[in-house]
Amino acid sequence: MSEGSAGSAETAEIYQTLRPLLFSIAYRMLGRVTEAEDIVQEAFVRYQRAVTSHGQPESPKAYLSTVVTRLCIDHLQSARVRRESYVGEWLPEPLLTGPLPTASGSQDPAAAAEQADSLSMAFLLLLERLTPLERAVFLLHDVFGYDYDETADIVGRTNVSCRQVAHRARQHVEAGRPRFDVAVGQREELAARFFGAVEHGDMAALVSMLAADVEVHGDGAGAGVMWRRGIVGREQVGRLLVALGRQLRAVNGSLHPAGVNGQPGALVRAADGSLIAVLTVDIVDGAVQTFRSVISPDKLRHLGPLADLSKLIDERRRPRPAEQ
């Protein structure tokens, strides 16, 4: 095998090994799947150039973590202006995740739940309150376990400075850290009943599962089919969800339970299987505390073919026989 072939094979192995970690960092930094993938890809392009010019870095993980983190910081600094002009509420791009392991699973369920919680929509929105540097230091040290010396090298700050930044970020995060029910099985069972009640428009069942101060948030990027501000309160949210189920039935759509950002969720599909929206719920103390819906096409393209919203709206407005 030639030296170039050996180097390419080694880079490919490093890619397979480190890509999941690097994507996890980038996605939590940005809240966007496609942009995180682009940044990870760019990091490996730069890594390959560095290997070709100077030989393999002493620590590929440190090199690639540095490139990914710094690209994310630069991206966030430029994205803040765009975010300020965003129409309606902004939610992270949904990431489909598998079910959490139960106590009988091979993976430590507590550790898996903690990692999943750091993927949740609620947690990613909490990170939005931090500066790009605070977000990077907090994630590297508190979520991914890099020590302060490693973190300092990655972000180009001193150890002491990183400790101060982490302390400040931790205070912001702890003040608003979301709580979720620990019992994964009960969480999934309640979510299944909840989405069934939405699909069938069962107001009584919905109200029984909603927290008194339940909230609804939607990201439609200004689309007329999505509410533009949060809705709060059991009765208001119940009526909204019943209406949502009615609209879904009017276009012969359906809900398909799925793990979304480490929490219970559902994919909303049209009759032809195309994707309309992605839903998530936060379950706290045995009740649905927050319901989120992402319908913005730009945030769903990575999940497959999308429904034609204008066509669905026209179909929904056609006269229908009275429901039994």
| Single pTM value for the model | 0.87
Q: What pLDDT sits at residue 220? A: 83
| Cα distance between residue 8 and residue 283, in whole Å | 46
Token code pair at residue 216: 């609804």
Q: Which amino acid is at 186?
A: Q
Distances (CA, A) of 215 to 57, 75, 223, 232, 289: 48, 30, 20, 4, 6
Range scoring the smallest mean pLDDT among 95-99, 126-130, 252-256: 95-99
Between 172 and 83, where is the model more confident? 172
| Cα distance between residue 176 and residue 170, in whole Å | 10
| Cα distance between residue 301 and residue 32, in whole Å | 11
Q: If you average pLDDT over every residue of the chain, what do you get?
A: 87
Q: What pLDDT sits at residue 85? A: 65
Q: What pLDDT sits at residue 158? A: 97
Confidence of residue 89 (pLDDT cuts 50, 70, 90): confident
| Cα distance between residue 65 and residue 307, in whole Å | 37
| Cα distance between residue 292 and residue 230, in whole Å | 10
The runs of H, that is alpha helices, within the chain are: 3-30, 33-54, 60-84, 109-117, 121-127, 132-138, 148-155, 159-176, 184-200, 203-209, 234-250, 309-317
Q: What pLDDT sits at residue 87? A: 75
Token code pair at residue 55: 């030989």
Q: What pLDDT sits at residue 197? A: 96
Buried b / exposed e along 290-317 (16+ C-beta atoms within 10 A): bbbbbbbeebbeebeebbebeebeeebe
Average pLDDT on 213-228 reads 77
Confidence of residue 148 (pLDDT cuts 50, 70, 90): very high
Q: Is the pLDDT of residue 228 over 80?
A: no
Average pLDDT on 83-103 reads 75
Between 228 and 239, where is the model more confident? 239
Angle (nearest 5°) at CA 215 between 127 and 298? 60
Range scoring the smallest mean pLDDT among 86-95, 118-127, 180-189, 228-237: 180-189
Range scoring the smallest mean pLDDT among 70-84, 103-117, 173-187, 298-312: 103-117
Q: What pLDDT sits at residue 105? A: 45
Confidence of residue 130 (pLDDT cuts 50, 70, 90): very high
Q: Is the pLDDT of residue 316 over 90?
A: no
pLDDT tens-digit map of 7-45: 577 878 899 999 999 999 999 999 999 999 999 999 999
Q: Is the pLDDT of residue 233 over 80?
A: yes
Buried b / exposed e along 232-243 (16+ C-beta atoms within 10 A): ebbeebbebbbe
Q: Is the pLDDT of residue 104 over 80?
A: no
Q: Is the pLDDT of residue 107 over 80?
A: no
Average pLDDT on 279-285 reads 95
Q: Is the pLDDT of residue 173 over 60?
A: yes
Q: What are phi and psi of 44, to 5 degrees?
A: -70, -30
Q: What pLDDT sits at residue 103? A: 45
| Cα distance between residue 248 and residue 254, in whole Å | 7
